[in-house]
Structure 1
Amino acid sequence: MTVDFKAEVEKRKSDMMEDLFSLLRINSERDDSKADKEHPFGPGPVKALEHFLKMAERDGYETANIDNYAGHFTFGEGDEELGIFAHLDVVPAGSGWDTDPYEPVIKDGRLYARGSSDDKGPTMACYYGLKIIKDLGLPVSKKVRFIVGTDEESGWGDMDYYFANSGLKKPDFGFSPDAEFPIINGEKGNITEYLHFAGKNAGDFTLISFTGGLRENMVPESATAVFTADSSLADLQKDLEAFTSQYPITAEVSEDNGQFSVTVYGKSAHGSTPEEGINGATYLANFLNQYAFEGAAKAFIALTANVLHDDFDGKKIGVAYTDAKMGALSMNAGVFSFDANSDDNTIALNFRYPQGTDAKTIQAELEKLAGVTKVTLSEHEHTPHYVPVDDPLVATLLSVYEKQTGLKGHEQVIGGGTFGRLLERGVAYGAMFPDYVNTMHQANEFADVEDLYRAAAIYAEAIYELIK
């Protein structure tokens, strides 16, 4: 049977965009301050999950909600099962938007909203790809389980809970529409390691607090330090103006009851590509490093300024490593937390590492850093993942991509982590096309509208080829 999948998408463009807009209007950021038994990651992710599952029920699918952690709907019958893994949670919107991040708007062919490219836009494109197969009644021999999570951007607690409590075995093979074409069949390992600092402050300058970063997998767009100083506001303002004139940042300083506050603004980016951002926290430390801080504050500031700043490949901290197939290790200094009233201040470093090194090897080197009292690891680690290019899953997905685009397909390994790695035979597939502008985890995130329609057609044919 020959189907013009592009033409089928054309018939459904307005419906697809209407459904996507309704999903993008839901603020599904994780909010631990409002988390409870009914809302494990806060109300927003639950609202998005319920909305998506109601949409699937509207279209005639059988759905399941696994205690508001994750959910799925199913299609088709067969002994083998294709899994499609997407996520409905988003990273915090942050500041610097030209539009309301939760009121989607299309300008010059671009759809602006938090989640438009990561991952609600691709999720909807894939949803409509499968919907076309269902609407047309195409014959299939395998089952499809479309699974949506609510904690992909944080700790993947959604998928841990889902597989432990859904009562279902993992699908036999599958993909996640949460990256780029032509395919992602390899993903580096992912671990966050925490540098701890202890001790009392001293010196002519005393650090009261230093905060920066919203998530470990985001480059901090800004950071703020509060301190007392043997200086005047005018002198600090002069120093700050001289400092910012040298770099692509902005900053401000103020005084309140003898305490000074300095905020530096950079640019956020995805934690897997820290070199694409401007780390407000490490630039703030560079500014403060000229002053006479002592003790734990001195260690915290000096290490950030002298070692972590612009050390995207881990060379300065001694953990740089490159694998011939998976590429180089990368490091994002993501979250900074210093409080003068605490004896345990931390810097969270997120590493994307290739095969050939591991979390313990990285930890051993970090423990050698001056001023660091200990190094701890996050509970969740993803080890390197790879599906050979000659696997039928990879070969089929590349073939459909080549057929629809006329472009040559090839394998890719990334530092980003996707739900594709949940399966031994799992990959990431779309929805971004080569040479796209990557605004994931940034202000003014957008997806090209026509690219989402193109992706929907690719997903439709790819799913059909895998289950027909």
Structure 2
Amino acid sequence: MNWKNEVDKRKGTIVKDTQSFLQIESVLDEKTVSKQAPFGEKIREAYDWLLHKAKQEGFKVKDHDGYAAHIEWGTGEEIVGILCHIDVVPGGDDWTSPAFNAEIRDEKIYARGALDDKGPTMACYYALKILKDAGIETGKRVRLIIGTDEESQWRCVDHYFKHEEMPSLGFAPDADFPIIYAEKGICDFIYETKLTSNTGLVRSFHSGHRLNMVPDRAVAKLDIKQVENTSKLRNLFHQYLVHNDCKGSLNIRDSNVELTLNGFSAHGMEPEDGVNAGLLLAGFLIKLPLNIEEKNFITPLVAMFLKDSRGENIDIAYSDEQLGDLTINIGQMMYEQGSESKIGINLRYPEGASFDVIKRSLDDHFQAYGYVGDTRVHETPHAMDKDHELVKILSKVYEEETGEQAELLAIGGGTYARALNAGVAFGPLFPGQKDVIHQADEYISIKHLLAMTVIYTRAVYELAKR
């Protein structure tokens, strides 16, 4: 069967459904969490949208309490798993069109989640639909497993695999083509302390939406009574912005001097691809007269992490030839005078680096400033045998469908592939394609959406056939 022809026949429907799916703002929302919506109402809305569509179109669907579900096709004892996620990071600022409009410009669909991971999820869904509609007989069941908390703590797949059997093999369409066979270890830390002083210069400081995103905006509110000369402060801030080639503003609002600094968002797996607004603003504030609690918040940000995403300043730097450098992304920074302060870290480390040594160094350095750490999520490094049947089949599919060699890659990102006993990441980003995941104006080109649908259709057929 000519899979490309089958995909091309459905081009209009694939594009329209992808737009509709992307227009649901499926961001974690703790304020609307309920028993029916464990990660908030909008994630539940996107979840229901997809499951309802699958039921209408004749698939077997099983919902596990709103945490995760699977859409099943085929027969057989063994299971092929395709692990996708429908939750996305917040839209953020500086979009050309609203982040959830899913506007088409220049044959590209612009929306948060277009590449990560709702666009590829629709491509995989249509791969199953094309095979089902064609009446293909299989020797294995295929499950499109739908996660809802990938961008946070992976509570979705943890819940799912407490109730369902593990697929014999599978892939996650959530990284790069050709094939990702190895991934770094990933850990999220929160360091926090209580604040007792109700006086001082800094009333509040906020930067960052998610630990796995480079913060693109930071806002500090200063007590205007503690600012000796507003004009001088304005000039100093302007000079600092020019020197660091970034944008920002100083505004007087009520009794506050509000400093805003704009950076550039990127995926936390490579902080150097972005500009961390929070760290840069801390770099300015450290020049001002601060009390001890303010210094204990600002100083570690600057001394430990400003212009150092590799851990060199705290002696934890490590590099691996295939997986690359250990990286540290300071994804959230919060200070509320008289209340509390938190610093959130997304760590990624290659095989060979000692997690215990890394954690001990972070704990010791933060403890010197009165901060106590908590490990929120920790996933150890993941790697598949390069000679595994799964790798060979997907390599063959990729090479025959693209005409290019299926190079095996290792990345700093973390995908659901590590939740499988035998899993790799497979797409959606093609070699040479610009990586705009977690950035403003994230998009998926319609050409690439259709191309990956062809590849996924062929891959599922080869993995599940008799």
Q: TM-score range by the shorter chain?
A: over 0.9
Report deviation, 1:232: 2.5
Report deviation, 1:258: 3.5
Provide the residue aligned with 2:181 in structure 1: 185
Provide the residue aligned with 2:440 in structure 1: 443
1:243 matched to 2:226? The reply is no
Provide the residue aligned with 2:430 in structure 1: 433
CA contact (8 A) 2:248 2:262 kept: yes
Q: Compute the TM-score of the two structures, normalised by the length of structure 1.
A: 0.95
1:391 matched to 2:388? The reply is yes
Report deviation, 1:379: 3.0
Provide the residue aligned with 1:150 in structure 2: 148
CA contact (8 A) 2:195 2:341 kept: no
Taking the aligned partners of 2:125 and 2:254, their CA distance within structure 1 comes to 56
1:213 matched to 2:211? The reply is no
RMSD across aligned C-alpha pairs, in angstroms?
Answer: 1.6
Report deviation, 1:330: 0.8
Point out where structure 1 has 5 or more consecutive residues left out of the alignment.
none
Q: In structure 2, the residue corresponding to 1:369 is in which secondary structure?
A: helix
Q: In structure 1, the residue corresponding to 2:301 is in which secondary structure?
A: helix
Instruction: Select between 321-330 and 379-388 the one with higher mean Cα deviation.
Output: 321-330
Q: How does 1:129-278 map to 2 (within 5 A)?
A: 129-164=127-162, 167-197=163-193, 206-228=201-223, 229-278=226-275
Taking the aligned partners of 1:252 and 1:379, their CA distance within structure 2 comes to 34
Q: How does 1:4-83 map to 2 (within 5 A)?
A: 4-83=2-81
Report deviation, 1:201: 5.5
Q: In structure 2, the residue corresponding to 1:82 is in which secondary structure?
A: strand
CA contact (8 A) 2:191 2:371 kept: yes
Q: Percent identity?
A: 37
Letter aligned with residue 184 of structure 2: K
CA contact (8 A) 2:189 2:376 kept: no
Report deviation, 1:266: 0.5
Report deviation, 1:375: 4.0
Instruction: Select between 128-137 and 189-198 the one with higher mean Cα deviation.
Output: 189-198
Deviation by residue 1:179-205 (Cα, 9 ceiling, x = unmatched):
1100111111110123334565699x6
Taking the aligned partners of 2:298 and 2:33, their CA distance within structure 1 comes to 33
Letter aligned with residue 285 of structure 2: L
Q: In structure 1, the residue corresponding to 2:96 is in which secondary structure?
A: coil
Report deviation, 1:125: 1.0
Q: Compute the TM-score of the two structures, normalised by the length of structure 2.
A: 0.96
Letter aligned with residue 375 of structure 2: S
Provide the residue aligned with 2:322 in structure 1: 325
Letter aligned with residue 295 of structure 1: I
CA contact (8 A) 2:196 2:338 kept: no
Taking the aligned partners of 1:23 and 1:202, their CA distance within structure 2 comes to 46
Provide the residue aligned with 1:123 in structure 2: 121
Q: Provide the aligned length of Structure 1 versus Structure 2.
A: 462
Taking the aligned partners of 1:105 and 1:256, their CA distance within structure 2 comes to 35
Taking the aligned partners of 1:246 and 1:325, their CA distance within structure 2 comes to 35
1:293 matched to 2:290? The reply is yes
Taking the aligned partners of 1:275 and 1:24, their CA distance within structure 2 comes to 28
Letter aligned with residue 342 of structure 2: T
Deviation by residue 1:371-407 (Cα, 9 ceiling, x = unmatched):
4324423332111000011111011111111111111
Instruction: Select between 262-271 and 304-313 the one with higher mean Cα deviation.
Output: 304-313
Taking the aligned partners of 1:231 and 1:439, their CA distance within structure 2 comes to 43
Q: 2:96 aligns with which of 83, 95, 98?
A: 98
CA contact (8 A) 2:198 2:337 kept: no
Taking the aligned partners of 1:263 and 1:397, their CA distance within structure 2 comes to 47
Taking the aligned partners of 2:26 and 2:345, their CA distance within structure 1 comes to 25
Taking the aligned partners of 2:400 and 2:253, their CA distance within structure 1 comes to 64
Distance 1:202 1:102, change over 3 A: closer
Taking the aligned partners of 2:247 and 2:371, their CA distance within structure 1 comes to 33
Taking the aligned partners of 1:324 and 1:16, their CA distance within structure 2 comes to 40
CA contact (8 A) 1:218 1:271 kept: yes
Taking the aligned partners of 1:124 and 1:278, their CA distance within structure 2 comes to 31
Q: In structure 2, the residue corresponding to 1:378 is in which secondary structure?
A: strand
1:302 matched to 2:299? The reply is yes
CA contact (8 A) 1:191 1:377 kept: no
CA contact (8 A) 1:201 1:297 kept: no
Letter aligned with residue 341 of structure 2: N
Q: In structure 2, the residue corresponding to 1:56 is in which secondary structure?
A: helix
